[in-house]
Amino acid sequence: MNYYTEIKNELINNEITKKVKDYSKNKSDLTTYYNVGKLLSAAGKHYGEGIIKNFSLKLINEVGKKYNTTTLKRMRQFYWLIEKGAPMAHQLTWSHYSELLPLKDINKILYYIQMCITYNLSKRELRERIKNKEYERLDDATKDKLINEASPVVTNFIKNPIIIKNPTNKEIISEKVLQKVILEDIPSFLKELGNGFSFIGNEYKIKISNRYNYIDLLLYNIEFNCYVVVELKVTELKKEHIGQIEVYMNYIDKHLRKPTQDKTIDIIICKKDNKFIMEYCSDSRILAREYLEI
C-alpha cells in the first residue's frame, strides 16, 4: 500500500467537501482525520516514527501548510482515541477533540465528551472545565456510576472543592461576604454544583415558631425535582451546623414541597470539611463541600 498517496487523497477530498458542502464540514473533518490517523498508525509500524515527518514535508508542499508534524501526530492520536472506545461525536468539532487529546484517562475524556454533548459546550467552555479539573473533583462513587453507565442522583455531580470566583481578591471573612461573591456570578456557581440547578433566592426568610430564620441560598433542581438548601460557612464544619440544616430542610419539606416533588437536600459549603462529623451524620441528604477561591 502507498500510505502517502492514500493520506494525500483523504486530505484533498476533505478540502473539496468543506468547500462544496458546508453543512457536512465537521463530519467530514472527523472522518477524514480518523482515516488519516489509521493510515499513519499503519505506516509507522512499517517505516518507523520518522515517516510522519517525511509525509508532513510533502503534504505541506502539495496540499497545505497546516499539515505539519504536530497536526499529523494529533490525527494519529485521534484514531487511537476512537479505537479505545471514545465516540466519534459529530456534535464535537476537531477543536474540541484537540483539547481532549492530551488527556490520558479515557474515562475522563468520555466524561467531557458527554458534557459537550449535553450542554453544547464551546471549545473555550470545554477548556475552562478541563483547566478547573472538573472531573477530578467528582467523588469516586460518581466516577464509578459514569463508568458503569448507572443512573446518577442530584448529589453526584456536586464537585469538591467547589470553585468560587472572587475577582476582587479580597479576603472572605464572613458568610455575608461569601454570599455576595457567589451572587456576583451566580451562573458560574450553579454550574459548579452540577446539572439543572436554578436560583430561587438568598437570605430566604422562613418563620419557625415566632422567630424568623434566613436560609443563605435556596435553589431548585429542575432535573431531579427537588429544593436545595445551601448554607455557607467560612469556618470548619461543626456539629451544630448539622442540626440547623436539618431544621431548614424539614421546614421546606413541610411548607414548600409538593407531593410530586422529591425531598429537599442540603449542601453545606464550608472553608474546611470535617469528615468525622459527616461520618456520623445520619441524614444522607446533607452534603458538605469545601470551597476554593480563584
| CATH architecture, domain defined by 140-293 | 3-Layer(aba) Sandwich (3.40)
Outline which parts of the chain fall under CATH 3.40.1350.10: 140-293
Give the tens place of pLDDT for each residue, 73-127: 999 999 999 999 999 998 999 999 999 999 999 999 999 999 999 889 999 999 9
Count of beta carbons in the 10 Å neighbourhood of residue 241 = 20
pLDDT band at residue 26 using 50, 70 and 90 as cut-offs: confident
pLDDT at 169: 79
Q: Region 20-37: what's the mean pLDDT? A: 82
Render 242-279 in DSSP notation, one character per residue.
HHHHHHHHHHHHHHT--TTSPPPEEEEEEEE--HHHHH
From CA 219, how far away is CA 37, in angstroms rounded?
47
pLDDT at 156 over 90: no
- As a residue count, the chain comes to 294
Query: Which pTM was predicted?
Result: 0.84
| Cβ-contact 249, 214 below 8 angstroms | no
What is the edge-to-edge ordering of all strands in the sheet holding 265-272?
162-164, 286-293, 265-272, 226-236, 211-221, 197-208
Predicted confidence band of residue 283 (pLDDT cuts 50, 70, 90):
confident
CB 232 within 8 A of CB 175: yes
Please, how many CA atoms are within 13 Å of residue 54, restricted to the half-sphere of its CB? 11
Dihedral sign of CA atoms 190, 196, 199, 203 in order: negative
Q: Residue 228's closest CA among 260, 181, 190, 259? A: 190
Question: Once rounded to an integer, what is the mean pLDDT over residues 221-240?
Answer: 94
